[in-house]
Structures are given as structure tokens and as C-alpha cells.
Amino acid sequence: MVNDVGQISAGAVLAIGAAAAFGAASVLQFCASHAVPEERAGQPRLLVRLLRIRGWRWSTLLAAAAFALQVAALSMAPLLLVQPLLVTGLVWYVLLFGLLQHRRPDARSLLESGLCLLGLGAFLAVAQPARSHGKGFESFGSAALLGVVVVATVGGCLLSALKLGRKWRPLPLAVAAGICYGVTAGLISSLGLRFEPSALAVFGQWQVYAIAVLGPFGVLLSQNAYQAGPMGAPALATITVTDPLVSIAVGLLWLDERIRTGPWIVLGEVLALAVVVVAVSLLARRAPHVAGA
């Protein structure tokens, strides 16, 4: 039991480190995405153009490091613990963007950051997520159902992006990116439930190939979301909120992970998540570069 607690704690620390790296990578990606011509959603040509920008290449290294930390965290702690902790990436984003612009975060931004962390801490304290002892995606039917849900929701978001004006276009693109990220995290977590890590065993699992498609596609959609609007933080805020919510759904419905239940407990969990969503939205609106736009 002591070892389990220590392992989960180590996973939480790794998740916070991943959030910091993701936040730093997002700052560089937002800046780079506005230095190239805008492309239609889902066009790989955008990534080719971004690769020519040094800042974006650095962002990929940071994102790769963040992904490695996330994978390590998911091997030690429940999906329902790791993914909500990645919400702190937006706090890092705002602070690092202010540093890049040589601006100190104002008192209101610090207050909203604290509110975000408070809501997150309250959710984790009330929910007390526990890792499943099942194997996850054991049946073809459950895997196929997840695939249908992902294709339907992401496809719907892309269709909405085509119909919406420039002002609102980043929202469905960011939601689609968040869905890809959240499901990718669920697939990574499911791999750890099936067997002890082994290179040969890993490449024999369908999740690896689904991750290889969903992960890069989520990155592409996030760049589209940054490009589609004049402000990066709202798009990042949408991704930041969508990712853990989707991960929670995948963990509960597909991976058999558990959180505490009961009328008052569920109410507390919902209220804590609502505080996180509101704080993230307010924090995005107060991002340093928004004030200077």
C-alpha cells in the first residue's frame, strides 16, 4: 500500500512536469502558427511549413519531453489523476507568455490561476481516483464503439469549423484536438493495464497504431485552432478543459477506473470541475498577449 501511494505520488509529480512542458511548447507553437500562411483544417502542409520555423522545432522537442513524462505518469498513476493535473499547463502558458512579452502577471491572473489549482485540488481530493485492475478494451466491441464515438465527434467538430466564421472557428477545432488528446491518453493508459512494458509486446497492440494516428492529428488540429483566431489562450483553454473531461469519460466508461460516488460526493466533484472550467476560461481571457492585442 505504501509503495502504491509513493508510485501514485511520483506519477502526479511527473504529470505536473508534463503540464509545464506542454505549456511552454504551446507558447512557441502559438507564435509559430501565426508566422505561416493559414491552411484549412486537417491539411498536413501546415506542419511542413511549421517545421521550417526554429521556434516550432523547439516546441516539438518540448512536446516530446512532455509526452514522455505523461506516458511515465500514466504508468504509475490513474488516468483520472494524471489528465486533470495537465490542466496546470494553462497556468504555465500564461506565466511563460508574460515572461516572453516581458510582462509580470497581474494580481487578477494570479488569483484566477490559484482558483484553477484550488478547483483541481478539490476535485482530486473528493474523487480520489483509483486505477483499474482490469485490462481495458478487452473486447472488439468496446474498442469499435470508442472508434465510432471519436470519428463522429471529431468529424462533427470539423464540419462545424467549416461553417463557422473566423471568430468562432477555433472553438470546434480546439474541441476536436482535445478529444484526440484525451482518447490518446486513455489508449496509453490501457496499454499499461494489459502487460508489463515490452517493446515487442507493445508493437503487437492495436492501441499503438491508433495513438500514432490520433496523436499527430491532434497536434495538427491544435495548430489549426491557434491559426484560426488572433488569440492563442482561448484555444489552449478549450483544449485544456476538453482533454481531461474526455479522459475522465474514457477512464470511467472504457477502462473501469473508479472515483468515489454518492449524491453529495458527485455534487462536490461536479462543482470542483465547474470551478476549474470557469477559472480556465477567465485565465484565458486574461492572458498577457490578449491585453496587448
Encode 217-245: b = buried (16+ Cβ within 10 Å), e = exposed. Answer: bbbbbbbbbbbbbebbbbbbbbbbbbbbb
Residue 45 burial (10 A CB sphere; 0-12, 13-18, 19+): exposed
Rounded (10°) CA dihedral 102, 107, 110, 114: 180
Q: How many CA atoms lie within 13 A of 238 on its CB side?
A: 22
- Region of 136 on the Ramachandran plot (φ > 0 left; ψ -120 to 50 alpha; else beta): left
Q: How many domains does the chain have?
A: 1
Cα(28)–Cα(219) distance, integer angstroms:
13
Q: How many CA atoms lie within 13 A of 104 on its CB side?
A: 2
Task: Going residue by residue through the chain, which has 293 residues, state the pLDDT in tens, using 9 for 90 and above.
Answer: 445 677 888 888 999 999 999 888 888 887 787 777 766 666 677 777 888 888 888 988 998 999 899 889 988 888 888 988 888 887 887 778 777 777 776 777 778 778 888 888 888 889 888 776 655 677 788 889 999 999 999 999 999 888 877 777 788 888 999 999 999 999 988 886 555 555 556 677 888 899 999 998 998 888 788 776 555 556 777 888 888 889 988 988 888 888 888 889 999 999 998 998 888 777 766 554 433 33
Q: Cβ neighbours of residue 55 under 8 Å, at least 6 residues apart?
A: 28, 31, 32
Rounded (10°) CA dihedral 21, 52, 97, 289: -140
Helix (H, G, I), strand (E, B) or coil at 198: coil
Domain that holds residue 13: 2-291
